[in-house]
Structures are given as structure tokens and as C-alpha cells.
Amino acid sequence: MRNQRLYINTIGCQMNVYDSDRIARALEPGGYQQTHVLDEADLVIVNTCAIRAKAEQKAFSFIGRLARMKRQNPDLLIGVGGCVAQQEGEAILSRMPQVDLVFGTHAIPRLPQIVNQVKTRRIKVVDVEQSDGIDEIDLAAGFHDDGQVSRCLTIRQCCDNYCTYCVVPYVRGAEMSRHPDRILSEIETLVRGGVREVTLLGQNVNSYGRKEGLPSFAELLERVNGIEGLHRIRFTTSHPKDLSDDLMEAFGQLRKLCPHIHLPVQSGSDQILKRMNRRYTHQLYLDRIERLRSIRSDIAVTSDFIVGFPGESREDFEATLALMETVAFDSVFAFMYSDRKIAPASHFKNKVNEDEIKKRLQELLSTQETITMRKNRALVGTFQEVMVEGNSTRPGLAEAIDDGPQWSGRTPGNKIVNFNMGRKVDPEDALSVGQLVEVRIEKAYAHSLRGGLVRKEAPTGCPGGKDCHAA
């Protein structure tokens, strides 16, 4: 009998990407092998995200399209997981009769039994029960070397912060941290399989371990830094109110910790931050950035913004633009505020009209575009450590085509760099994915940099920027 084919459509954040890996891992012993071709699937799973209305609509429109496939192949199984499943439960079955199973954010370890029930008893199953503990599926236990040198892993589930616009605390349950020994052993296995960079994930990694009395996040980073063979450590997301001195200092102490922090600010207005229940002020945020830069002057800072939160006046919005200019972020994600019915802000008065939100979003993005270009241009002429991620597929590099093979990778500050190796390249000289090389930056674009290879090796943890040998 041929293996069953599993197709997973992952919508939303990196945490969902990790959960999709766990889904695949959980179903593997039952004979499900992942495919990237939808038409050959026996089981399709949609791993949904409820953070913003747009992500939810995307999930429902994809599930809607699956109805035709199901009519053509009644044996096809369709499952819906993730935050929308957790939030809507049974209602998904009435709205989308083609769906066979609905499983919440804590049900991934029970998936083999759920799928089995659906198949053998020909029933529909909904499992949105939330568990008290951590749902451990050791991702690394059956890990296949699939050529990916950079992997994400969740170190902390859920969130207790209750920002007034956010669904996470309601759909993901109470926050919990994984034990450091499990995290360490998972990373060690990944590294043995060829992984060179890990991104530690959590809605608020800064408060890792606090509730459970485990080592702090800074201590965890120190242990991860000691893993032989690992080149780079990244993490996301940090909450400005919980950014400890220890963690900030780690950027000056741990060679493998990349100088990049994603620190969502959401707004620059104190009254909006208060209504969002963010528990910091514009000034406290600026103080944190100043301290980070005093420890690591080349640290890249990125952020999230919500535009048009209920009650946001033009003056509030200008406070946001002012904060953007002062901080000079490397890049940002900006979202139009969207009502989520289980989040308190959906009941707030003074909603901003959609046209105004769109206008403000454009203004914010174009302000950031100018800042990003300025920051990228400032890197021209510097020497950067780049971790090779693959051959460059970016078009528009015609002038470089004669200049030998094109490669791409990222700087420690997480900027994409496309680079070439020079005209006379011996095929023996090919680079390998995961290798750290040194590249001189020659051109800056809005979303990437271009450069030329300087050296085929860069010292592990070479910080780039001012401390780099050649700068």
C-alpha cells in the first residue's frame, strides 16, 4: 500500500510553521508523508491563524476551494487546526461541511487518534480541549535533513499579557515554558542534522521560565550559545515591558546571538498604548533602544505597528511617526487594526474609519521605506558575515550574471544579501549552504543588499559592522 500523502497549508506566523512541522511529525508514524502538491493529497490540513481578520478570511477561502476537490474525491480528508479551529470549534463543521476534523492548538499530539477515528468510524471529530501542560512532540526525534540550515522552535506556548486587541491569550491558553533540557536536546539533534541557525519562538520570550521557576531567558541563551556546531541564534518576539538588563547584556556577551531584536511597539502614543494594555510608554521604549544600542551599536531593530486602533487621533498617529523617526527601525510590519470579536478592543468606541486607516498605513509605510533605504545605504562598503542559504533566485541581477554564480544569505542583522563569487570560479570552490562567508556590500535596495565575496570563511560570530576585521 502506498504511503498516504499529507498536504499542510500554513497560514500566519512562524509559530504556526513550527506547529505544522509538529503536525507532520505526529502523523508520520501513521504512514503520512508530506507533499507540496495539493492534488495528490489524501489528507489536507489547514493550520489557521486568528490574529487578524485577513488571515482568518484567507483560511476560510482556501477551505472553501477544497469543497470541489472533496466532491471529486470523497475519500479526501480535510482537517482544520490552529487558532481559528480553537476559537470556532464545531461552528466550522456547520459553516464548511467538507471539513472532517477540527483540532485546537493543544490537540496536535492527539492527531493520530483523531485521524484514525475519522477514517475508521467515518465520523467527524472536533477536539478543542486545552491541556494544562506543554504538548511535547519532540520535533527532532525523526528529524530528516531536508537541507534547511535555519529552523525555528517554540520555547514558550501561549501568552498571559492580554493586550486588548489580541486573541492569543484566548485561543492559545495560559502561558507555559518548555524545559531547557528538552530545548537543548532538540537543538543538538537539529545541529547534528545540519542546522546552523535556530530562532527561538514565543509570544513573549523575555518572560521565559518566570512562572515555572526555570532558568531565565538570558540563561537559556547562554546554554544554547554553548552548542557546538551551531553558528547563529535568533529569537522572537520580545515584549518591551519585559526586556531585562540580563537579556540586553547578552547581546554584548554571546558570540552566536545575532545583533537583531524584534521589539513590537504597536504605537507611539501613550494614551493608545494604555488602551492597548501594553504597560510601557513611548519614553520607556526609547530608553530600552538607547540601552540596547549602548551595548551593541550595530544592533538591528525591527517592530510591529497597529494603525487605526480605536480612538487613535491624528495626534496619536503623529506620535507614532515621531517614534519611528527617533528609533530609525531597520524594517517594520504594520497592520491595519481589525476587530477580533473575543478581544476587548472590539467593544471600544471611536473606531477609526477604514479609509483613514488605509491613508495612515500608507504614510507609515512610506516613512519607513525612507528610513530602511537610509539604513541599507549606510551598509554599503561594510564587510558583513553572511550565512549562505542557497543560490540566489532574485531576478534583476542581470549585470552580475557574468560575474560567476549568485548566492544568497543573511547578515547577522537579518538583511538578505545576494552576492557573487567573482568571474573565474572553480566549481570545486562552490559554497555550501550553512557556511559563513564574508561579503563586501556594494549596493543597497529596499528589501535586500548586494555584494561580492571577500573570504570563504568568516570567524563564527563575526559581528559585521564596526567590529568586523575589515571595517
Q: Check residue 338 for interaction with ligand SAM (CB under 6 A).
A: yes
Q: Check residue 169 for interaction with ligand SF4 (CB under 6 A).
A: yes
Q: Which of residues 45-74 bind ligand SAM (CB under 6 A)?
A: 51-52
Q: Pick from 78, 149, 163, 345: which binds ligand SF4 (CB under 6 A)?
A: 163
Min dist CB 136 to ligand SAM, Å, is 22
Task: Give how many residues touch ligand SF4 by CB under 6 A.
Answer: 10
Region from 78-86, 220-228, 334-342, 457-465 binding ligand SAM, contact rule CB under 6 A: 334-342
Q: Pick from 22, 232, 239, 288: which binds ligand SF4 (CB under 6 A)?
A: 239
**Between residues 202 and 465, which has the closer beta carbon with respect to ligand SAM?**
202
Region from 66-74, 206-214, 336-344, 420-428 binding ligand SAM, contact rule CB under 6 A: 336-344
Q: Check residue 166 for interaction with ligand SF4 (CB under 6 A).
A: yes
**Between residues 203 and 418, which has the closer beta carbon with respect to ligand SAM?**
203
Closest CA to 27 of 123, 99, 83, 110: 110
Contact 229, 198 (CB under 8 A): no
Q: Check residue 168 for interaction with ligand SF4 (CB under 6 A).
A: yes
Closest CA to 256 of 193, 298, 197: 197
Q: Check residue 343 for interaction with ligand SF4 (CB under 6 A).
A: no
Q: Check residue 340 for interaction with ligand SAM (CB under 6 A).
A: yes
Block residue for cell numbers 512562572: 211
Residue 337 binds: one of ligand SF4, ligand SAM, none (C-beta under 5 to 8 A by kind): ligand SAM
**Between residues 111 and 243, which has the closer beta carbon with respect to ligand SAM?**
243
- Mask: binding to ligand SAM, 230-249, rule CB under 6 A, as x and -? -------x-x----------
Min dist CB 223 to ligand SAM, Å, is 23
Q: Pick from 6, 13, 63, 176: which binds ligand SAM (CB under 6 A)?
A: 13
What burial class does residue 326 get, using C-beta atoms within 10 Å of its C-beta: 0-12 exposed, 13-18 middle, 19+ buried?
A: middle
Contact 260, 267 (CB under 8 A): no
Region from 155-163, 209-217, 344-352, 374-382 binding ligand SF4, contact rule CB under 6 A: 155-163
Q: Check residue 55 for interaction with ligand SF4 (CB under 6 A).
A: no
Min dist CB 394 to ligand SF4, Å, is 32
- In angstroms, the Cα distances linking 464 to 135, 224, 252, 414, 469 are 38, 21, 13, 11, 8
- Mask: binding to ligand SAM, 156-195, rule CB under 6 A, as x and -? ---------xx-x---------------------------
> Nearest 5°: CA angle at 384, between 378 and 388?
130
**Between residues 161 and 267, which has the closer beta carbon with respect to ligand SF4?**
161
Residues 6+ apart with CB under 8 A from 369: 446
Q: Which of residues 258-317 bind ligand SAM (CB under 6 A)?
A: 264, 266, 304, 306
Q: Pick from 71, 116, 162, 471: which binds ligand SF4 (CB under 6 A)?
A: 162
Q: Which of residues 201-220 bind ligand SF4 (CB under 6 A)?
A: 203-204
Q: Pick from 161, 199, 338, 368: which binds ligand SF4 (CB under 6 A)?
A: 161
Q: How far apart are CA 42 and CA 73, in angstroms?
A: 9
Interface positions with ligand SF4 (CB under 6 A): 159, 161-163, 166, 168-169, 203-204, 239
Interface positions with ligand SAM (CB under 6 A): 13, 51-52, 165-166, 168, 203-204, 237, 239, 264, 266, 304, 306, 335, 337-338, 340
